[in-house]
């Protein structure tokens, strides 16, 4: 499936219903819960989540750690990818991530939004934009997911 269509033509990309509470419960006792990442919103073609800028996610200069931004981006893209495939037959695994850090964040929450660029049978590409509380982009990320058959 390749979804290079205008948003007004595109129906929902999800193969599974999105239950935010279940997604967040599934992430308990993982890196997501350790960093305070919460899945907060979804639409027909996106998944959103937040992460606090606090002692768990900053580097020694008290700025949001670039690696924490990558964790938020990869988490949102990975969860979104898994919602677009038949989980009885396939799993989605991260293959490549790149991130451009545009500005720093020092407090509050950052919000990531994952949107599919390409949904293929063996790979998916997701763009994840991370914004600060003022709505300014702090990180622009691209994630490539491999879709592999379960063993």
pLDDT 10s digits, 58-81: 999 999 999 999 999 999 999 999
Q: What is the dihedral of CA 47, 111, 41, 146, to 10 degrees?
A: 20
Q: What's the confidence (pLDDT) of residue 3? A: 44
Q: Is 72 exposed, middle or buried (0-12, 13-18, 19+ CB in 10 A)?
A: buried
So where are the chain's domains? 20-149
Quick check: is 74 catalytic?
Answer: yes
Which one of 8, 21, 48, 74 is the catalytic residue?
74
Helices (H), 17-146: 20-26, 31-35, 66-82
Per residue in 90-119, pLDDT (tens digit) is: 999 999 999 999 999 999 999 999 999 999
* Residue 102 and residue 139 in contact, taking contact as beta carbons nearer than 8 Å: yes
The predicted model scores a pTM of 0.91
The Cα–Cα gap between 47 and 147 comes to 19
Radius of gyration, alpha carbons of the chain: 15
Q: N- to C-terminal Cα distance for the chain?
A: 23
The fold for domain 20-149 equals Thiol Ester Dehydrase; Chain A (3.10.129)
């Amino acid at each position: 499936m390749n979804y290079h269509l205008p948003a007004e033509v595109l129906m929902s990309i999800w193969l599974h219903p999105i239950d935010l509470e279940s997604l967040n419960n599934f992430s308990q006792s993982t890196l997501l819960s350790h960093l305070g990442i919460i899945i907060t919103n979804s639409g027909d073609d996106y998944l959103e989540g937040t992460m606090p800028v606090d002692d768990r996610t900053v580097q020694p200069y008290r700025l949001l750690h670039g690696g924490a931004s990558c964790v938020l981006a990869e988490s949102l893209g990975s969860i979104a990818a898994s919602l677009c495939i038949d989980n009885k037959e396939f799993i989605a695994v991260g293959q490549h991530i790149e991130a451009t850090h545009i500005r720093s964040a020092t407090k509050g929450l950052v919000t990531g939004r994952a949107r599919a660029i390409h949904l293929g049978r063996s790979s998916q590409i997701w763009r994840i934009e991370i914004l600060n509380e003022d709505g300014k982009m702090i990180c622009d990320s691209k994630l490539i997911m491999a879709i592999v058959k379960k063993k």
